[in-house]
Structure 1
């Protein structure tokens, strides 16, 4: 059964709030009722819904929580060791579509690699029936080369309709590698459920290219979502300006660091400018940067007028961006005191919209007001 506000209030997780907050999106298109559901989180990164109405939440510095329908929080055992340094740690979570049979959950995390540095890794575990542990956890994929710093892990994963997995990885602060097909830095990968290069990948038979690569030229994708028509979308951080929403296509070069709509933090020009033949243009970009994280394409279940619209959290300016139209534009900013450093945005099975506020260490649910 779905999580209810009443149940969470009685557990003490939302102490002092007897009713949802009601506010309007900016610009005002609809009243929204916003309810804090789970408090006291430790740097939350991702949330995932389980078929029985419970939740999984990754806490970047700590691990993974199971939150039962009565609000009880349990730290999962059996999760892998992550390097919780800088922007790394425990990151994305995805519940497999066949969870009822397989009980599979995929997760991404930053891992110590053989060379001594850290890199993005993808693993899979079986969630125990009582939600207390990952059993049979398996490492499926890790970057071929480590990064020297503690930033730009990317680290979102999406299950496609054919069962393959898309995994995004940032450039790890080494921007030139985003153009190198012999490196996982700054790439979106397409993998089988076993973590192998998926059949049909564009560089399977190209000498010197890594066969997992689906697209390249990315800086630091921190949101990724699949539209109902099977189209993959991603949102990535620019430098100073130039945050991008991209329609992800097979084998396409998205330009970083050769082209960008931003500049380096020093003010120095990036690459050659904003366009180059053979490099894709973004569907939308922000300047100044809003620091995007988390991405969801809405079904229209509770808000029919929002069907197919894109929702993206802002870490810098503390709002949720709602984008729409054939020429993707920002239709509204959902903003309140609770939308502080929005790290993830997800649609629940009942059509409500949930988000994680890293600034509030809280998971919120949004319903029509």
Structure 2
């Protein structure tokens, strides 16, 4: 099923934007800038290699689940063997698509339930992201059981980009927040009849949460928390319970956004970047009625994911946003100042960084993009 926007409802500007060509995978994920020496103030230990790793989640016992984009889930223990987990669903692999995020459920200690996102194929060369739950059965040959698909991107469309599908659990453990990219189709991000280009707020079983801002519209609009997004590669809560989201812009205009319910974040009507073919996009400042980013980057940093650090090992970084970056080939440190933010440092690691996580002891863990992609542990010297 192809997405068929209601053209009569679109402004001439939106029609122009919709006509612009979508970026290639290489354009969307820029190559690193000139490499820099690894920082002397960090101790960096390599802890394994993976094939196109995409996401990592620590479990209560200190082990971690790591997804590989082609459709493999690995169970990693520091100092132990890396074990492949069985029962992973088939994925539609290619471009930016494949196996995506992973996260233990709030009650994992008793239920052993995990959340997974992946891309599934549809008819007529279409595809879309999905969210599922499964029970992780620990054993010498661990596997996922009772796999249930609980959410889908609607509609499935052509192309292999901008799936997003990152997960966050609310601090009270009651809600699941999910990012859904606009699939390089531009105009769906402004259309509340679909869930593309949106941040979604769901119950833990994948159903729309009560009290969402567009519930009265019915259908998938009941899922929507915010809209007007492009390719959302990170979503996290801070220690005040505020929700932050990180997304790729086009040629320029990567954004860190403070997410508020019901707000329109502007894509593709405004951006602090332009189209890959050089066509200009009006800047955020021209539309004060649309939510502006807390910080934007031009040229891009090409984010992979981010954390808001709350550990004790890096005391000076507490409360800061640490961004895994492709273009900066390392970590971008950002300080939150109220509802705005500013960049304070770039830490070169000489490779595109896909994923960043905080370990149980406050160490910072990163996964390099690509094959092989190293798992690296960062602690202070």
Q: Assess same fold via TM > 0.5.
A: yes
Superposition pairs of residues 1-369 of structure 1, within 5 angstroms: 23-24=38-39, 31-39=41-49, 41-113=50-122, 117-130=126-139, 132-162=142-172, 163-206=174-217, 210-271=221-282, 274-326=285-337, 327-337=340-350, 340-359=351-370, 361-369=373-381
SS in 2 for 1:205: helix
SS in 2 for 1:367: strand
TM-score normalised to structure 2 length: 0.86
SS in 2 for 1:24: coil
Name the counterpart of 2:6: none
Deviates more, 1:263-272 or 1:149-158: 263-272
TM superposition outliers: structure 1 runs of 4+ over 6 Å: none
**Alignment deviations for residues 75-102 of structure 1 (CA, whole Å, 9 cap, x no partner):** 2111111100110000111112321111
8 Å Cα contact 1:88/1:150 also seen in 2? yes
Higher RCO structure, 1 or 2 (CA under 8 Å, sep 6+): 2
SS in 2 for 1:165: strand
Q: Which has the higher helix share?
A: 2
Counterpart CA distance in 2 for 1:68 and 1:291 is 29
Unpaired stretches in structure 1, ≥5 consecutive residues: 1-21, 26-30
Cα distance, 1:205 vs. partner? 0.8
Counterpart CA distance in 2 for 1:124 and 1:273 is 38
8 Å Cα contact 1:115/1:145 also seen in 2? no
**Alignment deviations for residues 304-359 of structure 1 (CA, whole Å, 9 cap, x no partner):** 2211100111112312101014141111111133xx11111110111000011114
Equivalent residue pairs, number: 340
Superposition RMSD in Å: 1.7
8 Å Cα contact 2:71/2:88 also seen in 1? no
SS in 2 for 1:317: coil
